[in-house]
Amino acid sequence: MGLKRMDNVGIVVADIAAAIDFFRELGLELEGRATIEGEWAGRVTGLGDQCVEIAMMRTPDGHSRLELSRFLTPPTVADHRNAPVNALGYLRVMFAVDDIDETLEKLLKRGAQLVGEVVRYKDAYRLCYIRGPEGLLIGLAQELS
């Protein structure tokens, strides 16, 4: 018995429609949307009676997914969206892109903000962090050939 794969990364948002639009612009595909509720769901999360709207976003290669969640009940209890890059816990999602400048241009039009600057790491990558919808920290990496 061994690990098969990482299935998805979950991100809780307040505006699921805006998050879907943003990640579509980045290049992810909407795989499906659903409302999850019921006694079984609360047993999995430990939240008891819950109702959550989810959207599953898939990367173009089909290997990775983001699960966007908007909790209707119970209400969210903490907000880490403006935490700096050295905060403890889950931090960010990094995406590999073909052209970092083109990707930034599209995402800045959707309200993204560049955190620092685009930098070159040796002759291997161009990298940057942006704040996406609701302040989510997202990394972009362009591999240099």
Model confidence at 1: pLDDT above 70:
no
Q: Is 108 left (phi over 0), alpha (psi -120 to 50) or beta?
A: alpha
Residue 119 has a pLDDT of: 95
Please name each of the domains of the chain with its CATH number.
9-73 (3.10.180.10), 93-143 (3.10.180.10)
Contact 97, 141 (CB under 8 A): yes
> From edge to edge, which strands make up the β-sheet containing 9-12?
9-12, 65-73, 51-58, 29-37
Structure tokens at 68: 């966007």
Q: Residues 8, 74, 36, 13: what is their CA dihedral angle, to the nearest 10 degrees?
A: -40
- Residue-wise pLDDT for 72-125, tens only, equals 999 888 787 777 777 777 778 899 999 999 999 999 999 999 999 999 999 999
Measured between alpha carbons, how far is 142 from 54 in angstroms, rounded to an integer?
A: 29
Place of tokens 């795989």: 31
- At residue 14, what is the residue type? A
On average, the pLDDT of the chain sits at 91
Task: Give me the pLDDT at residue 39, please.
Answer: 83
**pLDDT tens digits for range 10-63:** 899 999 999 999 999 999 999 999 999 988 888 888 888 899 999 999 999 999
Query: Tell me, what's the pLDDT at 125?
Result: 94
The pLDDT-based confidence of 137 (bands split at 50, 70, 90) is confident
